[in-house]
Structure 1
Amino acid sequence: MAERGAHLTAASGHDDRPSIFEVVAQDSLMSTVRPALQHVIKVLAESNPGRYGFLWRWFDEAYVLLDLLLQQHYLSRRSASFSENFYGLKRVALSRGGDGKPLRSLVTTGLPQGHHYASLCLLVLVPYLRAKLEKLVSRLREEDDYSIHPPSSSWKRFYRAFLAAYPFANLAWEGWFLGQQLCYLLGKARQHSPLLRMASVQLVRLTAEDVRGLEEGARDTNMAAQPSCSLTDRVRTAAKTALGGLAFSLSTGLSVGVFFLQFLEWWYSSENQETIKALTALPVPPPPVHLDLGTDPPLLPTLKALCPLCRRVRANDTALATSGFVFCYRCAYTYVKAHQRCPVTGYPTELQHLVKLYTPDN
């Protein structure tokens, strides 16, 4: 039985077919890079909201542009995504005919144009749309819990129907991927992911010919940069070198970010924070001032029972976890949803940072 399990998790008799551990590991690599980069942007935005706050508000769009540049570079140069190339894999196009056999080619020749753009769209757009959908579901659940929309609103019925159907749709999506991985593990499928199947490509290991082709391509690039070449060739080579260097810098930074994520998890762990607090007993800093110098800062009301936004007695007291100031729930929700920051301090804030306060009167 153990021998049978070892046989299933190996290359299944094909020298160029990666094992299930390799394909799952390369899938999980990009899922760890995004949180690491997001945490770095969050730290920068909290340290200087005026300069880096826009990066936090537009993180999804900035990340998808960087991901597009990175994946385009590796698909055109290595016939693989960043994570696939990291594990020594490449993509091979499958024939459009009924047999669906792989079209054997060197990594330097690249994928056919149709397979290339299909792979690029699925690699970049699917994670972006999925992240946007999860944020939308989270926001709708908060609105439904706090009854932001009137009970008679037709949108509220649509929201509840959508929220009720989303867990089943998500379960079907995850089950689709799990079923494809099981078929790949048992040797019944060429791809471990439905996205690879939709792009009509298959993952295989890099061969010795591929490695030699990459080395020869690097030598040809260096020779093309010699002064004997024409000005057009040198400009084209310089542009390709610049883009390749930028993509290489991004890939190196992402590789280091995987390690940096583990360091951040340890640094912000509860045990380490307790040690830091015990070693550094600093006095409490003064309250932060408003960081938006272009407009008049909203002065805090004299009475502590008033909301800083509407200047009325607070209703449904809600505090912002990022700054500690207390507002009415509707005031804080509307402002944070529109500006993604604290109204008083300017610290980057999201809707999940709203904390309901319960007084003895409640």
Structure 2
Amino acid sequence: MAGLRGAFMTQMTKMNQIGDQPSIFDVMSQESLMKSLKPALRHLTKYLAFAYPEKFSSLSQKYDEFYFLFDFFLQNHFLTKYGASFSENFYGMKRIFQATGEMPMKGWTKLRSIFILVIWPYLRDKLDKLHDDLKLRLSYIGNANQDFKVKLAKVFVKYYPWFKSIIGALTVFLQIAYIINRSYIHSPFLWASGVRLEKLTGADLASFDGLPAHLQPTGILQRLWRIFLAIPGVMYRLFGYGLFFVQFVDFMYNSDLGAQLKGQKASWKTPPPPHNLLLNESNIHTLETNKCPICLKNRENSTALSVSGYVFCYTCIDSHLKKFGKCPLTGLPANTSQLIRLYH
């Protein structure tokens, strides 16, 4: 297997002059970094809009457009100077245009990468929102309206998920092929850009006018910069885990299934009382309903204790609470303010 793999890569190198390619782990890591940047900045803008609404409310409302401009200038800068996207450069990679073997740092080759890196994600998010909105509207319209726009919306709602599924399946296929060294690209978006990824070499670093901080040879600065750039991804994951935990707790306490599970758990075993009973409660239940549990005589001025629900003579329960500060049957802490006079 190793011999076949080496022979295949040797042939590919001779035919296409392919340099040292990054591992699938580096490739997935750089994609994860870029995906976590947008939601991390979104949380920041939401906080700023909440803390300073007069300054940042419009920024939060137009966040997609703001991020589009930010991403455009960021990717354009790194493509122009380093021949790679921000996240690819962060992990020491470069883009090689297939037709020329050069880095897409200017002209049409750079515009293709800009479209796939910046414009397509923006359009994809808009299409996702449009799909969800049209799906909701069509659920109210039904089949009565046969207007052309409605028919077109139905076609889009029906086939757009298929388009996304095909892209996802092709991505998985190319990733598997990349892992076993049967493809030099791991994503259909690289194919659409006409590029492949390679590791930066010493000659590449020497050709750059200046190196970004994460590629500087000084160790401490490089580590600090990498830690700083990793913060958005870490915070995004922690925020996601926290939301999952909150949703799980809300499900257990507020959903019908959670209530059912809690009820079943309670029915398996009767929990012991949390305290020692002052009187024998089972014997009290055998008393006639008009008897006071304390004096065992007919109640006078019937009074209920709200913490336990039992009914006593007013003088009996009043004096007992002033002396012991507990319900005489359950032992729950109580005081005279929790007495409720009953009138017949």
CA distance in 2, matches of 1:80, 1:52: 32
8 Å Cα contact 2:81/2:105 also seen in 1: no
In structure 1, distance between residues paired with 2:122 and 2:227: 22
Give 1:174's aligned residue: 168
Q: CA deviation at 1:198?
A: 2.3
| 1:251 to 1:33, Cα distance in 2 relative to 1, 3 A | farther
Q: 2:144 aligns with which of 138, 141, 151?
A: 151
Q: 1:192 to 1:272 in 2, by over 3 A?
A: closer
Deviation at 1:127, TM superposition (A): 0.5
C-alpha displacement at 1:60, in angstroms? 1.0
Query: For residue 64 of structure 1, what is the amino acid of its counterpart?
Result: F
Counterpart CA distance in 2 for 1:117 and 1:15 is 23
- Cross-structure match for 2:27: 23
Scaled by the length of structure 1, the TM-score of the pair is: 0.54
Alignment of 1:202-213 (within 5 A): 202-213=196-207
SS in 2 for 1:218: coil
Deviation string for 1:159-198 (max 9, x for gaps)?
A: 3332122221211121222222233233332221222222
Q: Partner residue of 1:257? A: 232
1:218 aligns with 2:210: yes
| Structure (1 or 2) with the larger CA radius of gyration | 2
The corresponding residue for 1:134 is 128
Distance 1:52 1:273, change over 3 A: farther
Q: Specify which structure has the bigger relative contact order, considering alpha-carbon pairs within 8 angstroms and separated by 6 or more residues.
A: 1
Map 1:306-317 → 2, pairs under 5 A? none
Compared CA separation, residues 90 and 171, structure 1 to 2 (3 A): same
Q: Does the CA-based 8 Å contact 1:266-1:272 persist in structure 2?
A: no
The residue aligned with 1:348 is: none
Q: Which residue of 1 aligns with 2:304?
A: none
Return the offset for 1:87.
0.8
Q: Distance in 2 between matches of 1:261 and 1:62?
A: 19
Residues of 2 paired with 1:57 and 1:253: CA distance? 27
Instruction: Say whether 1:194 aligns with 2:188.
Output: yes
Change (3 A) 1:164 1:268: closer
| Structure 1 residues 167 and 218: alpha-carbon distance in aligned structure 2, compared to 1, 3 A threshold | closer
Q: Give the Cα separation in 1 of the matches to 2:160 and 2:66.
A: 27
CA distance in 1, matches of 2:38, 2:130: 18
1:84 Cα deviation (Å)? 0.2
Matched-pair contact (CA < 8 Å) for 1:78–1:85: yes
Q: Which residue of 1 aligns with 2:83?
A: 79
Between Structure 1 and Structure 2, the one with more helix by share is 2
Q: Is the counterpart of residue 60 in structure 1 residue 54 in structure 2?
A: no
| Number of corresponding residues | 229
